[in-house]
Amino acid sequence: MSDLSRVDKIVADYKEQKTPLIYILKDVQAEYGHLNDEVLTNVAKATNIPLSEVYGVATFYSLFTTEQKGKHIVRCCNNAPCHVKKSKDVLNKIKEYLGIEVGETTPDNVFTLEFTSCLGLCAVAPVMMIDDEVYGNLTPEKAVAILKDYKLKGVSNA
């Protein structure tokens, strides 16, 4: 990891806020892509919070990651309401198309596949979230078409 000075700047941005660790980690992750040991050590130093606590928080929440992920994060829902609408079929097709399992990243570093917990879009189940965008009424074919779009132009809203 090269330049860690931006950690200090982010921490300084939050000096007015009481207990801002989660916000700092969000911004730092947005800046560096992930929260590895080196980054977390610097956050701990800059905030004066013990590294153990910083590490504890960074590994507790599912939106934080300590590993480098792909350019796009595909989050599939398989909670009960999606499950009864055959979300497993969608997930299996995505796994097959991307050639990876849940938790893995494609070799070209474009996609990381994960689970999401319920997004509250159950009336258009099954659903998935790619980065900040949500997609509903999925079929295995539709899901693959959306991923193809991302591959081609990087953005889509089906």
Partner 1 sequence: MKNLADLRKIKEKAKMEMASREKNVKYRVVVAMGTCGIAAGARNVMSALVDEIGTRSLKNTVITQTGCLGYCDQEPLVQVFEQGRPCITYGKVTPEVARKIVADHIVGNKVLSDYVFKQN
Partner 2 sequence: MHRLHVLVAMDSHTIAQGARSVRDTLVKELALAELTDEVKVVETGSLGIYNKGVVLVIFPDNVYYANVTVLDVTEIISEHFKKGRVVDRLIYKQAPADQDIKVDELDPRFGKQQRVVLKNAGVIDPESIEEYIAHDGYEALGKALTEQKPDQVLAIVKDSGIQGRGGAFFPTGVKWGFTAKTQSDVKYIICNADEGEPGTFKDRLILEGDPHAIIEGMALSGYAVGASRGFIYIRGEYKMSIARMQRAIEQAREHGLLGNNIFDSDFDFDIEIREGAGAYVCGEETALIESIEGKRGEPRDKPPFPGVVGLWGKPTVVNNVETLANLPQILLNGAGWYKKLGIPDNPGTKVFTMVGNINNPGLIEVPMGITLREIIYDIGQGIPDGKGFLFAQLGGTTGGILTAKHLDLPLSVSSLREIGAGMGSGALLVVDDSQCVVDMVKNFVEFFNHESCGKCTLCREGTGRLLEILEKLSAGKGSVKDLSLIKELSETMMRGAFCGLGQAAPIPILGCLRYFEQEFIRHAKDKVCRAGVCHLETAAEIKAA
Residues of this chain that bind partner 2 (CB under 8 A)? 18-23, 25-26, 53, 56-57, 60-64, 78-81, 83-85, 115-123, 125, 129, 132
CB of 145 to partner 1, least distance (A): 13
144 near partner 1, rule: CB under 8 A? no
Structural contact between residues 90 and 126, judged by C-beta atoms closer than 8 angstroms: yes
Nearest to 69 by CA among 118, 115, 109, 124: 109
Interatomic CA distance for residues 45 and 7, integer angstroms: 10
137 near partner 1, rule: CB under 8 A? yes
Choose between 72 and 85: whose C-beta lies nearer to partner 2: 85
Choose between 127 and 146: whose C-beta lies nearer to partner 2: 127
Structural contact between residues 113 and 94, judged by C-beta atoms closer than 8 angstroms: yes
Part in contact with partner 1 (CB under 8 A); list of ranges 14-22, 60-68, 96-104, 134-142:
134-142
Q: Residue 127 binds what, of partner 2, partner 1, none (CB under 5 to 8 Å, by partner type)?
A: partner 1
Contact flags string 53-92 toward partner 1, x per CB under 8 A: ----------------------------------------
**Which listed residue (40, 135, 143, 147) binds partner 1 by CB under 8 A?**
135
Interatomic CA distance for residues 25 and 105, integer angstroms: 22
Locate 145 and state its tokens: 């078409």
Structural contact between residues 77 and 127, judged by C-beta atoms closer than 8 angstroms: yes
Pairs from 144-152 (Cβ < 8 Å, separation ≥ 24): 144/93, 144/94, 144/97, 147/74, 147/94, 147/97, 147/98, 147/111, 150/72, 150/110, 150/111, 151/110
Considering only residues 88 to 127 of the shown chain, the ones binding partner 1 according to CB under 8 A are 119-121, 123-124, 127
